Structure 1
């Protein structure tokens, strides 16, 4: 794998560590040949880079991660290669192995989320199962979409990965990452039932909609891909009617794999932990969760004090007015990365006054929700 000329990259990609809602993300390799039409690489003008290309050595990357101001040993949830490549591509998988080994050698027990839709082999699983400290979750993206222009990679490859992981996992956890769910693409009864049957091998299911932003809109228009949405949005889109159909069919299916609205909820459940994002602060999210998981989150739920929030803000040099209520801390203008950092540190929701979550929408875009769902924030 060759090093890239950094000036050809979007500036955001040059920062190999960034914070996302599900964890602090390490991305020192960019480029992917899988050509999923909806890929977030469109956001970084990077979709045409097909060959995985390295920005730093694995050792440099790990040192950058663990010395980052946002990294807290044993607490901060981590993600690897989830922004601009797939961690199990032939040119990437050994780097995935190396990073995990380097972190595990330091005895970090942080949660580690690894998202893939590619080939996970028996050799990969042997490496993952050899780890003794990191708590690893494989989130295998599976949409049920037919092979074609939206997802060129054969679903048989992904199903084989799920089978391999399920057969060999002991410490490693497996989530079927059901995404993107889009009306007219993969929300018919046959596809939903098929996906639920595949998920029977997983520890949990996390389902979500589509990031549909101007970059995807332009690409879909160019490629002639039909999309049911007239508007784009910064948040993922999953209409209320589509979710209702999923929940109805899930209940009729009678499977054994729990279903979750939020990624961190599924991951935390699999590791027998309370949700590290503090989603219990949004009670309507929890009405599909297993009762023993709700009890686990209830027991851990703690509203931070003014002193605790002030101490953290001062410790990290964050400047914002804030207000604490029973469900979340309101802030102003902190930005996503700082809010997620505080959220994972406190295990409590941190919101921005200018970007409220509306009741009934579960943190999603308002597209596909009637006005009755746009009640004041809870």
Structure 2
């Protein structure tokens, strides 16, 4: 009951916060419900439920990463994160903890009515490690003990937790005999490559950019390939690459968007996104970087494209170019947009499922 209630209450909170962002967050197979479930599984379950303390005097806010979320401080969205005040999470926990305490007290009173005096309450289950749950029940039992006239102790059974922790330590000390860090899926980024710059373009149908007037082929660059013979390092950096985007002179904002893909079969880069080789590729997220400041601060200028023969094509436009660096840190895929030697945007995607169980 505890786990499902907390998840449902948090799910409702996220729906209320993100409903107004649905139009740009949902695209292709990406839905708001799927985004929320991903946050619950990768962030709320792993981070908040295990360590959130309603009695924490610092009252630190909680942050939940969401790739592509546009900044809006009024809504509590900043740096691709949903910011949730401590009080809101506390209210979710308290509603649940109050119900648990009421059930516990009713059971104790029922036993007392039958002449059985409970002196210990054993806390078990996955949520038993929650500091909020333990402290709340300890305080409630102290009050109940004073009222009933006998002591009731809370016992948190941690033997199973200790066994799991011990196993993890042994595994960490014996990584040579554990599973290697071999990817079971490929991860790539969508690229618009100049037509015929790569032989893989073949007969792929190009499109003409409405701004610069040049021909491009939309492809996927698989920066991390499944079943690569070389195991990944715990902190591995992929080859950096340049991203560039064009904008009309009257474009209100210069939002550069990079689309991330995953595939259980594709490994060859530069093929059209519609190629049979990429038919099982699925979009898993976006990185959105706002470069409007480059125009506003006069750091770039508008111009037309000039061909090798001197002819100008397309419309007068701005071009934004920056470096993208992708790292694999532990079991996370981290992306960094870099301009002028500074990180202007970062994003993180958990890729634990692509490794064999037991991989650190």
Q: Do they fold alike, i.e. is TM over 0.5?
A: no
Considering Cα pairs closer than 8 Å and 6+ residues apart, tell me whether 1 or 2 has the greater RCO.
Answer: 2
Which bracket does the TM-score occupy, shorter chain normalised? Answer: under 0.3
**TM (normalized to structure 1)?**
0.23
**TM (normalized to structure 2)?**
0.24
Question: Greater strand share, 1 or 2?
Answer: 2
